[in-house]
Structure 1
Amino acid sequence: MLFEIVIGFAVALLVYLALIGINVLPVIIMIGCAYMMYSVMYRSSMIKSPQKVITSTQGITFDQIGGQEVAKKELLEALDFIKNFDEAKKMGIRPLKGILLTGAPGTGKTLMAKAATSYIDSVFVSASGSEFIEMYAGVGAQRIRQLFDTARTMARKASKKHGVIFIDEIEVIAGVRGRHSSHLEYDQTLNQLLVEMDGISSSDDVNILVIAATNRPDIIDSALLRPGRFDRIVKVDLPDKEGRLEILKLHTKNKPLADDVDLEQIAKETFGFSGAHLENLCNEAAIFAMRENKNKICQKNFLEAIDKVIMGEKLNRKPSDEERKRIAIHEAGHALVSEHFNPNSVSTITITSRGQALGYVRQIPEDDIYLYTKQYLQSQIAIALAGAVAEEILLGDSSTGASNDFEQATNLARKMIFSGMSVLNVVDKDSLPSEKLHEVISDILSEQKSAVKKLLEEKRDTLVLVVDYLMENERIDGDKLRELLYKSRAA
């Protein structure tokens, strides 16, 4: 109340002085400068470290992390040097200062950091890289100092020999220096982090281990990546089929599963899923079962959950009958060509709208593939073009629904060219003229389109049969599709 009275009196005084002819502009400028200085000083005094302190991560162990055996093995080996510090010291081994976890989002980097804390019996202090950056110079550097001081203080209070600092999204503050020429706050923050990590010595009563996570290791400053700061760089990859199965088993332990649930089949159909995706998949399957008033989760619920995780929720919009038929023809074309090149590869065909897709075909890779042959890439281009070709055969023209398919086919053709699988043989990506690149891409796509058109013309009756079934049922699973194909061949 007093503050408002003083402000009101000061404003009234300035107005009065202005009315009697006194120049009040210098006074206003002085008051403004004084207020700005006060704001900066007050802001600096209120700076707090952004860390979240966890004195115990009991219950979080490496046994709870599935599908990352290689990463866990490498991380555990590094942690053993800290856990068995006295033995390591006899061999002249210094404690590790930093471990950088790299990998796609949702692969379990944060969970691995917490498990590491439990493994070496230490306090756990976490922060995000974005929490260190402010508009005021020096704030980030001060927060870095506070972060390390807090870790040491909390470890001493908890009577622990080790402290773990976990920094998520470290690329925010650890990017190559000099990128932000107009704002040196980033560089100052990184410089302080470099100093703090260099300041960790084996003679300290508390050994501090910095664990950081990023999915952009390519932009991190080399000074931070050198041995002596981040001694180990552990790649946390997307899980393979066996890893996905292990993760699914972990996330379904507390869920009632029906007898028809086949986790191996689900693991096979979830190529490219991270651990976070798989956890969400299990949760969505349980939600679907609850919606149907079931007391157990069925295989059908898991398959529908896969569709939702990939494509999103079903939409209420209903295309016209003419559009539904075009969508059915398009998806049937993809499915038939997929089955031709990769038998038993189709898991589901649907013309139900989800997310941005009016319909889609979900394929099952026989095995996780990491290297692609020329034949495989050509078959994938053919599958991508098959939807538009099917529309042309049965309806006379294609639609805008094939635009994403064309983009995918073009990217696959580029991959062929830059992998030396085209008529150009081995080429330099930077020196290849754009006109020549366009010409070769067009040739590859035209060749595959002609092959697909010939194939679908031969299977025209089967295509119509599948389209009619889709129009009536809106969905076909892989086994039903292959049953229709078998009947068509028998006829």
Structure 2
Amino acid sequence: MYWHKKMRLFFSMHWVKFAIITAVLLLIALAVWGLMSMESFYMHLTLAQLPLQLLLTALSAAIFVYMYMMVFRGGFSKLERGRVKGENVRVRFDDVIGIDEAKEDAWEVVSLIKDRTRLQQIGGKILRGLLMVGPPGCGKTYLAKAIATEAGVPFISMAGSEFVEIFVGVGASRVRKLFKRARQLAYAHGACILFIDELDAIGRSRSFSYMGGGMETNATQNQILVEMDGLTDKEQNVIVIGATNAGEEVLDIALLRPGRFDRKIYIDKPGLEGREKLFKYYLSRVKHDRQMDLSRLAKRSVYKSPAEIENIVKEAALIATRHKKDSVTYKDISEAIERVDLGMKRKRVLTPTEKRNTAYHEAGHLIVMYILHPTDDVFKASIISRRSSQGVVYSQPREELYIHNKEKLLADIKVSLAGYVSEKLKCGSTSTGVSSDFKNAMRIAHSMVWQLGMSDKELLGDYTSVPNDQISDKIKEDLNNETQKIFHKCMKEVEALLTKEDILLERFTKELVERDELEYDEIEAIFAEYNKTRENPAKHIK
């Protein structure tokens, strides 16, 4: 359908090469004809000098071409990226897993590209821009490749950082060349997809200095705005796909208006069903236990992105290999999740007193988490050093929660304070190990009072949005008092619980000192031994 346009494009892009080849062949023919007409002596003399003349000519030509390319053909702004055929990307929509809603929106774009003739017949226009927004590792780039593959059109990919240079004007020049290349491919193939990854590198809100000047990225962004808004030729369907990990609010409003990025696709972390499909897909690439319950893995990996799940499977394969196993088991996956979330174990030799105090600290966290927390379950307790912490109680939510109520926030504070209270009750003094716990608890309590209106006095409003000098000292004092009130109330409840469960606290401390680590099943068994149960335990995800 587009063969004549492709031929015209090919000759328009390579006419210089054809001209050079023709000229060289003509010169060779003239040189041979001239040598044939010379006398024997002069012909031999000319042939003897010919290699040196060719060498000097080639050197001069190389210097000239280099200077010409640097000065007149872009130099630093030279664009290295070429097009990639859609069929060569080889990422189908079936390969994009865990983001079904985003796939539906993207498939609509593919349909518009495929049916662009019908769309133009009824007077419609194809989308000019598609913005993908979401956290890292959720498949934005992968989805863009799938769009190019399914649409079967050329695909050009660049990162936003490739437009940023120290030299003024280089970024804008690269943008012009990139869009020129995209328009040529769209003319020859009917459409072209231009993918700009990490768009926020050049798409942030424009800023200007006090003298009226702007940053170099301003010129680059201005050129993108002009190029996107200037794509009016009905046969030059260039679809710009931008991807960013930053929120929409950081991008310039001129980029987001209709006519530039017309459509926005929000890509979030996968839900339960999506995570199960991801585990099935990535485990199919390695030898694994076929009896493994993938639904348990999906429930164990709440809030994990596709990239994180892929990394977990890779880490599990390494662990299985290290243990000289023939396939990956559930235990390997579980260890990989802990290694990714908690970090590698560090062998530190603690004094008996340090080990006992750490065990009391973690046992306090464990008991309060198990009994009082409404949404999270304990999967592991350890007094082995990981990263910067001396011990850890590893917990996971039972399901995705996108809104946290007051009870959940208070439970988080109580769990954070439990280590401090346990040390104070059993050791007579506290240690520096409570610093991160206090920091987390204070952050939550401060947010509850200053931002969320969850104090007893009902000081409503987000006071962090008001300049500090515009809040009266009386209001500040009330807010701080309410924060401390939450702190002390939670601490008293934790102290009462740990005093009541003193036998359980001693038992867990003893087990941690002897074993260093307690797994989910062992923790459940000890609680069951003392007839301690909680409502809706997540035994199905152990």
TM-score bucket (shorter structure) = 0.7 to 0.9
Letter in 1 for 2:507: L
Q: Please tell me whether the aligned partners of residues 269 and 363 of structure 1 are also in contact (alpha carbons under 8 angstroms).
A: no
Query: Partners of 1:281 and 1:371 in 2: how far apart?
Result: 27
- CA distance 1:202–1:96, change in 2 (3 Å): farther
Query: Partners of 2:85 and 2:69 in 1: how far apart?
Result: 35
Q: Please tell me whether the aligned partners of residues 121 and 162 of structure 1 are also in contact (alpha carbons under 8 angstroms).
A: no
The equivalent residue for 1:211 is 241
Q: Please tell me whether residue 486 in structure 1 is matched to residue 528 in structure 2.
A: yes
Query: Partners of 1:154 and 1:380 in 2: how far apart?
Result: 56
5 Å matches for 1:50-449?
50-51=80-81, 53-56=83-86, 57-154=88-185, 160-179=189-208, 183-204=214-235, 206-216=236-246, 217-259=248-290, 261-342=292-373, 345-417=377-449, 418-425=451-458, 426-429=460-463, 430-431=465-466, 433-449=475-491
Q: Alpha-carbon deviation of 1:58?
A: 4.0
- CA distance 1:319–1:39, change in 2 (3 Å): farther
Structure 2 gaps, min length 5:
1-66, 533-542
Residue by residue, what CA displacement relative to the aligned partner does 1:46-70 show, whole Å, maximum 9, x if unpaired? Answer: 4212536422444312221222111
Query: Partners of 1:321 and 1:266 in 2: how far apart?
Result: 37
- CA distance 1:83–1:254, change in 2 (3 Å): same
Residue by residue, what CA displacement relative to the aligned partner does 1:392-418 show, whole Å, maximum 9, x if unpaired? Answer: 111112222121111211222233222
Residue by residue, what CA displacement relative to the aligned partner does 1:282-330 show, whole Å, maximum 9, x if unpaired? Answer: 1001110000000111111111111111122222333333222222221
Residue by residue, what CA displacement relative to the aligned partner does 1:193-233 show, whole Å, maximum 9, x if unpaired? Answer: 011101212522x4111111112222111000001100011
Q: Alpha-carbon deviation of 1:481?
A: 0.6
5 Å matches for 1:10-25?
none
Q: Please tell me whether the aligned partners of residues 137 and 184 of structure 1 are also in contact (alpha carbons under 8 angstroms).
A: no
Query: Partners of 1:215 and 1:252 in 2: how far apart?
Result: 27
TM-score, L = length of structure 1: 0.86
Letter in 1 for 2:244: T
Counterpart secondary structure, 2:361: helix
Letter in 1 for 2:428: G
- CA distance 1:329–1:135, change in 2 (3 Å): same
Identity, % of aligned pairs?
Answer: 34
- CA distance 1:422–1:317, change in 2 (3 Å): same
Residue-pair matches, total: 451
5 Å matches for 1:37-56?
41=71, 44-51=74-81, 53-56=83-86
- CA distance 1:314–1:428, change in 2 (3 Å): closer
Residue by residue, what CA displacement relative to the aligned partner does 1:154-211 show, whole Å, maximum 9, x if unpaired? Answer: 556xx5322111111111111111256665321110010011101212522x411111
- CA distance 1:424–1:93, change in 2 (3 Å): farther
Structure 1 gaps, min length 5:
1-36
Q: Please tell me whether residue 452 in structure 1 is matched to residue 494 in structure 2.
A: yes
Query: Partners of 1:221 and 1:278 in 2: how far apart?
Result: 33
Query: Partners of 1:488 and 1:475 in 2: how far apart?
Result: 20
Query: Partners of 1:242 and 1:66 in 2: how far apart?
Result: 10
The equivalent residue for 1:29 is none
Query: Partners of 2:297 and 2:430 in 1: how far apart?
Result: 34
Letter in 2 for 1:207: N
Q: Please tell me whether the aligned partners of residues 69 and 75 of structure 2 are also in contact (alpha carbons under 8 angstroms).
A: no
RMSD: 2.3
Q: Alpha-carbon deviation of 1:340?
A: 0.4
Q: Please tell me whether the aligned partners of residues 373 and 408 of structure 2 are also in contact (alpha carbons under 8 angstroms).
A: no
- CA distance 1:461–1:207, change in 2 (3 Å): same
The equivalent residue for 2:62 is none
TM-score, L = length of structure 2: 0.79
Q: Please tell me whether the aligned partners of residues 50 and 132 of structure 1 are also in contact (alpha carbons under 8 angstroms).
A: no
- Which stretch shifts more, 464-473 or 49-58? 49-58
Letter in 1 for 2:490: Q
